[in-house]
Amino acid sequence: MSTHYPTPVTPKQTRIGWIGIGVMGGAMASRLISAGYAVTIYARTPSKATPLLSQGAHLVSSPAELAALSDVLFTMVGHPSDVKHVVMDTFLPSVNPNTVIIDHTSSHPGLARHIYESALEKQCYSVDAPVSGGDIGARDGKLAIFAGGDKDVVEWLRPLFDVLGKVTYMGGSGKGQSCKIANQITVGANLVGLSEGLVFAEKAGLDQGKFIEAVRCGAAGSMVMELFGERMIKRDFRPGGFAQYMVKDLGLGVDVEEGDEDNATVLPGAGLSKQLFSGMVANGDDKLGTQGIITVIERINGKLDKH
């Protein structure tokens, strides 16, 4: 490690580049700025960068310029196709040797491995580090971060990860993404279960708030309930993560690619969760938060006043 990284990560000398300043990415970049890091950003819509610029971030006109000016590059974009375009087509042709690329996007493990190998050819490193914790976790620096890649590189990056949340090293490249898929399978099932519990409680004549209070300290309690229970009751569907991304994430677990049939895992619950979240998208609610899945359960039960 000392050969490639003689200088520890510090706010005074580590140059940060960031692409993807949506609900999650914007909050994460903001935390790094607040921690004293020099953060440079690229935004397709520059006006969306105004809050970060007011904190002291710098804005560049292209991803290539961003890559050339950064020691550590962060991406938090939407889909694997976006990751491939940003990293493979724009970052890697422009990076300096020993640059580290951190992809926080929920993406495909195979793509993460391809990026890792391509980065090594450029004498650079990549870490797949998807996160869980939603907008609140991003804002408060309490994200769960699942890291795949070289362990010593992840350790070198720890000062950055510690600003954002708690990092767990999962193994070689792609393992962070595999962990996030497993995470989403679990979260999706929890969201569906919580939605059904709330809908049943209401139809049974229970006060939904009292129901949550009664069960939250028992076996039914979960972080999903803590994050989203009150939001569901109050019809607060502002996104911490878009419903359309949950469909994408669950698809990474249940959709079998041609030629990979022997490695497929049978996941009936995840398949049902994907179908229900796809119902949200079909209803035009793709940009609502994942807690909006309760609207699908309500529709099935004849309640059409979803918002």
267, pLDDT greater than 70? yes
5, pLDDT greater than 80? no
Residue 255 banded pLDDT, cuts 50, 70, 90: confident
Cα-based angle 293, 103, 59 (whole degrees, multiple of 5): 100
Averaged confidence pLDDT in the chain: 94
Over residues 142-164, the pLDDT tens digits come to: 999 999 999 999 999 999 999 99
Instruction: Give me 162's structure tokens.
Output: 């510690």
303, pLDDT greater than 90? no
User: For residue 300, which amino acid is it?
Assistant: I
Cα-based angle 18, 62, 176 (whole degrees, multiple of 5): 35
Over residues 65-108, the pLDDT tens digits come to: 999 999 999 999 999 999 999 999 999 999 999 999 999 999 99
pLDDT value, residue 307: 60
Q: Domain ranges in the chain?
A: 15-173, 179-300
Distance between CA atoms of residues 233 and 205, nearest Å: 14
Residue 261 banded pLDDT, cuts 50, 70, 90: low
Over residues 224-234, the pLDDT tens digits come to: 999 999 999 99
Residue 258 banded pLDDT, cuts 50, 70, 90: low
CA-closest candidate to residue 229, choices 270, 193, 283: 193
CA-closest candidate to residue 232, choices 251, 250, 211, 214: 211
pLDDT value, residue 53: 97
Q: Which residues pair with 100 in a beta bridge?
A: 72, 125
Residue-wise burial string across 109-133, b where 16 or more C-beta atoms lie within 10 A, e elsewhere: bebbbbbbebbeebebbbbbbbbbb
Active site residues: 180
Q: Is 301 within 8 Å of 199 (Cβ atoms)?
A: yes
- Contact residues for 25 (Cβ-Cβ < 8 A; gap 6+): 18, 19, 74, 76, 77, 104
The CATH architecture annotation of domain 15-173 reads 3-Layer(aba) Sandwich (3.40)
pLDDT value, residue 259: 60
Instruction: Determine if the pTM surpasses 0.85.
Output: yes
User: For residue 131, which amino acid is it?
Assistant: V
179-300 folds as N-(1-d-carboxylethyl)-l-norvaline Dehydrogenase; domain 2 (1.10.1040)
Same fold, 15-173 and 179-300: no
